[in-house]
Chain A
C-alpha cells in the first residue's frame, strides 16, 4: 500500500509536498498555497486548509495559533458562468430527442 498522504485532493498535494515546502523555507499558508498549489482547485481550500495548517505546525514551522488562513476569494461557491451572465445554462438534452 502506498504511504502517500493526500492533503489537497483537488490538486493532489501530499503531506510530503508540504514538508518539502517547509524545508525550502516557506512557512506561511499564502506562500505554501502558491508553492504547492494546494487550495486552488474546486473546493478552494474548504477541505484542505485545516489539514495543511496542521501539517505546517507539525513540521515545526509555526505555532498553530500564528497560522492565518489564506485570503478568501469570491465567489463563495463555484458559480456557473451562465448564471453570472444572466443566461440559462444550455438545456439538458432530453432522452429520445
Chain B
C-alpha cells in the first residue's frame, strides 16, 4: 500500500525563533492539536519531536475506535471522534483504512456481565446502539468463536478500526499546509522562562514560545519535569502482535473483559491484537519497548482458546508501546499546576489515539479562547495536587480500559 504523497516536506529544516504555541510531541495528539489550531487561524504553531513520525505510541497501537465505555464523558466524546475518523479521508485526503465491523466484548464472570449490562444501558441512553447478546448468539457475528464458559457479550456495530499511521501523515501534511512548522528529530532538552517567553532548548537551537503544550503521551512526565512540572502519570508496557494477512473473515474487534484480550482483522488482512500482562503493572517508571516471548505465548493461548481455528495462523511480527496511565483512570489536561502558560494533554490510558481527533478539536478551541469543553474541568491537571480539588473531581472512573 502507499499513502497519498505530497510535494511539501512535512518536517521543516530550520527551527523558527518564535512560536505562539509550541507543542512537544508529534504523535497523533500533538499533530491533531496543531492542525486544529491552524484551522482556527492561530499563527506560529510549532511542533517538536525527538524522533520520527509514528515512532511513539501513535505508531504502535492497535487502531481500535469504539464508543463502548462506562462513563458518559467518554461515550459522548468517542461518538464524535468516530464520526471525525469516518470523515478523515474526505477532510484530509488520505486513506486511513477505516472499517466499521463493530466491537464484540465477551465476559466470563457474573460481575463483568453486570458491568456490561450497566454500560450498555448508559450507551443506549447516549444513542449508541450497543446490544447485549447471549454468548451462543455471538457466534452469529463471529462463527469461529468457542464461547464455552462465557456469561455474556455485547456488540456495537458502529465501532471500528483504523490503520494508525496515515492519521499522522494526514494531520502533519494538513497542518504543514496551513503554516504549522513540524520538527522531527528535535528533542527538547531544557525548558526555561515562563508564560509569554518559554525558552525551549533543542539541538537545532532555542525556540521562544508564548505558550507550551506537552502532548508527549507516556513521555509527558519526563518532558514536563524540564519545566518543573511534576505529573502523576506513568508508563506501562503493552505488547502487540500481527499475523500473516488472511482472507477477510472476521467482522468485529473481539475482546475479552477479564483477560484484556483484543484482536481484529485490518483491511490489510492481518490480525492485530494484544492482551493484559499483569506483571507489567509494577512500579517501574521506565519506558521499555522490548518484546517478550511470554507475551507471544500468553497471546497465542488466549487467541487459540477463543478461536481454535487460529492455531494454524502464523505470527509475523510483535512490538511494544507504552500505555500512559493516570492514578484515577482519567486523562490529565489543561494548564499545569503553578505553571501558567504550560499546558498538558496526557494520561489517556492506552486510548489516546482514538480520542485524539475529538480531544484535539476542543483543546484547540480552548487555547484559542473559546469556552472550554467540560472535560477540562473533569480532567483538570491540578486535581492531584495538595491544593487542588482532589482526584475524586476527575469524575467517575472509566472501567473499560482494555489491554
Contact = CB atoms under 8 A, between A and B. Distances in A.
A45 B1 CA distance: 14
A12 B1 contact: yes
Interface string B249-271: 00000000000000000001000
B2 interface: yes
A91 B314 CA distance: 16
Interface string A48-60: 0000000000000
Interface of A is mostly: loop
Interface residues of B, number: 44
B26 to A, nearest CB: 12
Given A11-B1, A35-B3, A82-B311, A73 B52 contact: no
Contact of B2 (A30, A37, A74, A83): A37
A88 B308 CA distance: 10
A33 B268 CA distance: 15
A28 to B, nearest CB: 6
A86 to B, nearest CB: 7
B310 interface: yes
B315 A84 contact: yes
B317 interface: yes
Contacts of B1: 11-13, 36-37
Interface in B360-395: none
A17 B4 CA distance: 9
Contacts of A44: 316-317
A90 B312 contact: yes
B71 interface: no
Contact of A31 (B7, B52, B310): B52
Contacts of B317: 40, 44, 73-74
A74 B3 contact: no
A56 to B, nearest CB: 14
A17 to B, nearest CB: 4
A23 B3 contact: no
Contact of B315 (A23, A25, A36, A79): A79
A19 to B, nearest CB: 9
A81 B304 contact: yes
B169 A35 contact: yes
Contacts of B303: 81, 85
Interface string A16-47: 01001101110010110011110011101000
Nearest to A19: B5
Given A24-B9, A24-B10, A89-B311, 20 more contacts: A11-B1, A21-B5, A23-B7, A25-B9, A34-B52, A36-B3, A37-B3, A40-B242, A42-B244, A73-B317, A73-B318, A73-B319, A75-B316, A78-B314, A79-B314, A81-B303, A81-B312, A81-B314, A82-B312, A85-B301
22 contacts: A12-B1, A21-B5, A24-B8, A28-B52, A30-B52, A30-B55, A31-B53, A34-B54, A36-B1, A73-B291, A73-B318, A73-B319, A74-B291, A75-B316, A81-B303, A81-B311, A82-B310, A84-B315, A85-B311, A86-B297, A87-B301, A89-B311
A-B pairs, top 6 by smallest CB distance, nearest first, are: A82-B311, A25-B9, A84-B300, A78-B314, A20-B5, A85-B300
Interface of A: 11-14, 17, 20-21, 23-25, 28, 30-31, 34-37, 40-42, 44, 73-75, 78-90
